[in-house]
Amino acid sequence: SVGSSCTFSVLQRERERERGRDMERMSTCLCLAFLLFSFVADAMYIPRRSHHLLSWRQNRKTSKSNTELPSHFETRYFPQNLDHFSFQPESYQVFHQKYLINSHFWRKGGPIFVYTGNEGDIEWFASNTGFMLDIAPKFQAILVFIEHRFYGESKPHKLANTLGFLNSQQALADYAILIRSLKHNLTSEASPVIVFGGSYGGMLAAWFRLKYPHIAIGALASSAPILNFDNIVPSSSFYDTVSQDFKNVSANCFEVIKRSWGEMEVFSTIKDGLQELSKMFRTCKTLHSVDSVSGWLETAFIETAMVNYPTPANFMAPLPAYPVEQMCKIMDELPLDASNLERAFAAASLYYSYSGSESCFDMENHTDSHGLNGWGWQACTEMVMPMSCSNHTMFRPFESDDEKANQEYCLREYGVKPRPHWITAEFGGQRIEMVLKRFGSNIIFSNGLQDPWSGGGVLKNISSSIIALVTRKGAHHTDLRAATKDDPEWLKQQRRQEVAIIEKWISEYYNDLEQEEQAKKVKEFKRSNRKFVQRALSFFFLLMARRSGDCMRCLVIFAVVSALVVCGPALYWRFNKGFVGSTRKSSVCPPCVCDCPPPVSLLEIAPGLANLTVTDCGGDDPELKQEMEKQFVDLLTEELKLQEAVADEHSRHMNVTLLEAKRVASQYQKEAEKCNAATEICESARERAEALLIKERKITALWEKRARQSGWEGE
């Protein structure tokens, strides 16, 4: 998408030359280059007059993209309101938004994987985002690719003066409305939604998660330069990365490209220079400006760096694996007498004609083969990304965008002024680590350091659930491409990490959903019990009111049955215990029969004992009598002390038991208070949830009513 952004530097310089060579080095490469995902192979190289860097691409002779869709995709159209954020009559005008759907692997209730479309035909992105198709069987997911409003076929052709409704906020609202409608039509409201996107689409995916967390539970934002605004990152990072990519492969390659610009300038100063340059570059028609060649070369080097994939690809253009290496190899293998400009042309030809089928190159006629022409408006309104090029790169240096010149261009072309601070005001970006650490969750920011747009991406983890996956050899959203047998191990590992994180999000969602369902069942069970009691009481009072004979008999039966149910068990055990006890008391043992001889009486053995008393014992001996009286007092004293000790021990034991009982009672009371508090919290949460549900239903009914008033008949 950044692809669509483009060489603003190149575009600006052409305009400056037309005004005079004095500002030749200035260029406003507003590289809003954001066809971030775009960078189409058949791209358009907009003449340097466009401050919005509509595209880095030089388009070929094709006029329409013939992208072939993967199997099992179905094309559908959804009626969207033109404006989601106002309630004026014109806001309810409808256009039909295109989307692609693949339910081949889906099971009802399974996840929904949504691609948030970039600035171009949605088929183009679907055919270059094989990662989603690769993982759909594992998750039993349905795939949905939604086309961005005002791109591809999703344009309000019959509605005049509607370009003002082309912006990222309206696009995100489109996605939200379509996803909710789709879940309703699939009768799968509880299905979790994960959004995916690359480049500008990756920015939209991340912003969608932040703006609509109730719709998407997570987002994979690949190569999403959400920090490329408001000078959050250095404006030179884009060109620095492109230059470093070539320098890492070959220092000679870097120097050849750097010197080629000076050689090109010579042709603008000599007689018949443009004719000679046209011949060298095999143009289909004689060139009118040296800048056309400059832009043609810049586009080739920049986009090749962006799509420096480890396997052959046909995204921006048909290219071999690691095309930067192949370009440098071409330069290094040319004869020693070849000029720097000839070497640069030979290398760039790899990008424009890898198969060698192009007999000539049309550098000054451009068409839009991928439906990208809305980016100019976005670059002149909200997508304002500063860009500059230093002396340390392999390109001609230029300063950061001239804000005044940008305004003049946008006023002339569209009648609007850019808003350079709007994106950071709407979505944030400043101090992103501090903000998202406490606010966001479940976002993967993936970046490859060979991608020129990686300088504006999130390259460090923000929290445990906002993860940055950075690969040293990765290019522009390499991870979203379909897996091949030749993929390097680092790319396989990156995709495994992404799958594991997504799997964790979905697992946590289903666990939360299960707990919610269990809570609902408990609540429903309690409610049904309350209803039963209410009905029973109603029946009871009805019988009391009527008091007829039959009713009284029913009432008596109802009372007896209720009493038996409530008191039956206790009465049974009490009655059973009493019956057994009384039986034991009334039973009489049979008389014993004993034929033993009668016992011998002690009186018969010692008759004198009958008149003997304790006081008589030793009564005749004064000393013995005194000793016995003394022992009797001591015995009584010891007995009293023993009884006192026993009483003290019983008292101590009772005190210990009482304290333990109080402690246990206090503990149970605290637990009871916790249970009561938890019950109150749950009940409060339930009431809030019911209130929110009622509110949501009202809003849904209102929007459905308005949609039907606007002609929508449902799907």
**Is residue 137 within 8 Å of 114, Cβ to Cβ?**
no
Phi, psi of 467 (to 5 degrees): -110, 140
Query: What is the C-alpha to C-alpha distance for residues 265 and 329, in angstroms, rounded to an integer?
Result: 25
Active site residue 63: no
For residue 641, give the 3-state DSSP assignment: helix
Query: What is the C-alpha to C-alpha distance for residues 135 and 505, in angstroms, rounded to an integer?
Result: 15
Name the residue among 473, 429, 471, 483 with its Cα closest to residue 447.
Answer: 471
Active-site option among 243, 476, 477, 479: 476
The 8-class DSSP code of residue 236 comes to T
**Is residue 449 within 8 Å of 471, Cβ to Cβ?**
yes
Active-site option among 154, 199, 223, 289: 199
Query: What is the C-alpha to C-alpha distance for residues 629 and 627, in angstroms, rounded to an integer?
Result: 5
* Bridge partners for 142 per DSSP: 112
Report angle CA 398, 404, 405 to the nearest 5 degrees.
60
**Dihedral sign from CA coordinates of 312, 315, 318, 323:** negative
Alpha-carbon Rg for the chain, nearest whole angstrom, is 45
Torsion of the alpha carbons at 444, 77, 180 and 510, rounded to the nearest 10: -50
The 8-class DSSP code of residue 81 comes to E
**Is residue 420 within 8 Å of 384, Cβ to Cβ?**
yes
Query: What is the C-alpha to C-alpha distance for residues 189 and 182, in angstroms, rounded to an integer?
Result: 9
Residue 59 buriedness (CB in 10 A; 0-12 / 13-18 / 19+): buried
The 8-class DSSP code of residue 452 comes to G
Query: What is the C-alpha to C-alpha distance for residues 390 and 60, in angstroms, rounded to an integer?
Result: 30
For residue 617, give the 3-state DSSP assignment: coil
Q: How far is CA 620 from the centre of its chain?
A: 112
Query: What is the C-alpha to C-alpha distance for residues 38 and 85, in angstroms, rounded to an integer?
Result: 28
For residue 116, give the 3-state DSSP assignment: strand
The 8-class DSSP code of residue 193 comes to E
**Is residue 463 within 8 Å of 269, Cβ to Cβ?**
no
Residue 691 buriedness (CB in 10 A; 0-12 / 13-18 / 19+): exposed
Active site residue 199: yes
Active-site option among 181, 451, 454, 477: 451
Place of tokens 């004026």: 88
* Bridge partners for 194 per DSSP: 113, 218
Name the residue among 162, 132, 177 with its Cα closest to residue 480.
Answer: 132
Measured CA to CA in angstroms, residue 21 lies from 17, 18, 352, 391 at distances of 5, 8, 30, 19
Q: Which residues are catalytic?
A: 199, 451, 476
